[in-house]
Structure 1
Amino acid sequence: MDARNPGAGTRAVSKKASKRRTTAVRGPKPEFGRIDPGCRVESHPDPACSIGTISSPLRAHRVVLVSLALVLAACAPASNPAGPPAAATQAEPAAACPIENFDAFIERFGREIAFQELTTSNPLVVERYDTAAGPEPRRVVQEVALADVVWPVMPRLDLLGGRGRVYDIAPTAEGRTEVRIRTPDTSDQQRYLFGQSPCWQLQRVVDESI
């Protein structure tokens, strides 16, 4: 101790003691931000390793992206296989024919003019002899529009006997059915040809009268 300055020694001792207290209180500085190699990042991290440890942001970001991708893949609906091509629109079935049996058809055809108009083809093919042509009659074939047909186009079959006429019905080689009406021993004869397309209808009239 300095005899000339008795307080100097006391201040020096106080500074040393203060320095020792400061060093003892502070201790070694913790190194924040440094990852302990012995610690692993788990879903439930060890509390002893969590203090002063910062997990990698990049790794956490990747984990989030992978989890999101798995969730989206699980929720995405399975793609349906290509279905068969749309079926073509089916044609509407044709209306049922009013009468299928020809005998019943021809009886009604001769009796009802309205039914004749309904079941005669348009145009109607008409064959006849032109007696005005010289020097001999000439056969003429015409297509007559339905509006120009003279009705009734065929007489009633059940009334022919009272007029001295007869009729017969026979199939033709073309798959049609022919009704022939005639006056015996004369050239007065008409042939009516009926076909199915798909229902019965009068398609041709051949007048062989001269």
Structure 2
Amino acid sequence: MNIPKISSLVLLLLFAGCTSPAKRGAPDCSRQSFPEFLSHFSTDVSFQRQAVVYPLVKMQVIDAEPEPRPHTTRQSQEEVVFPVMPDKKKRDADGLMLETESVQATDAKVLLYKPDTDYQVIYIFERTACWQLTEIQDWSL
């Protein structure tokens, strides 16, 4: 028997069960419409963990002198605090509103805010194969 053929067969069998990195831990792409995706994202923390792009871009307004200014960081998977978006029960308890500002074929913006306050957080999602959170902009002071 030819040794290179055996090596090739062994390698083929070893890798046959492997999945591509895009599939391992990837978000559930069965929710194709953005409203379906957002409904699931806003209620399921484990789904949030899968549907975040790392490093996650996070912008916060820093109360600096002479004026507040935006400060942007890139957070690794270990640095991101979940849930990144509060569920409906928490939003209702805190008087927060969640509204989709815009949805395009490849991106969407969602606004989380508290009426009559400066609390305002924008979530930016992008879609390649699946919808994923790519950035959080916290404009609250």
Report the TM-score when normalising by structure 2: 0.73
Letter aligned with residue 91 of structure 2: L
Identify the structure with the greater helix proportion: 1
Give the CA deviation at 1:175: 4.3
RMSD: 2.2
For residues 66 and 82 of structure 2, the distance between their equivalents in structure 1, rounded to whole angstroms, comes to: 32
Say which SS state the counterpart of residue 78 (structure 2) adopts. helix
Per-residue deviation, residues 150-170 of structure 1 (Å, max 9, x unmatched) = 111111146423322212113
> Which residue does the alignment assign to 1:128?
60
Answer yes or no: is the 8 Å Cα contact 1:127–1:205 preserved in 2: yes
Q: Structure 1 stretches (4+) deviating beyond 3 angstroms?
A: 172-175
Pairing partner for 1:190 from 78, 103, 121 = 121
Per-residue deviation, residues 42-85 of structure 1 (Å, max 9, x unmatched) = xxxxxxxxxxxxxxxxxxxxxxxxxxxxxxxxxxxxxxxxxxxx
> Which residue does the alignment assign to 2:34?
102
Answer yes or no: is the 8 Å Cα contact 1:193–1:203 preserved in 2: yes
Identify the structure with the greater strand proportion: 2
Pairing partner for 2:131 from 189, 200, 203 = 200
Count, aligned residues? 117
Q: Report the structure number with the largest CA radius of gyration.
A: 1
> Which residue does the alignment assign to 1:164?
95
Pairing partner for 2:69 from 115, 138, 156 = 138
Answer yes or no: is the 8 Å Cα contact 1:107–1:157 preserved in 2: no
Letter aligned with residue 137 of structure 1: P
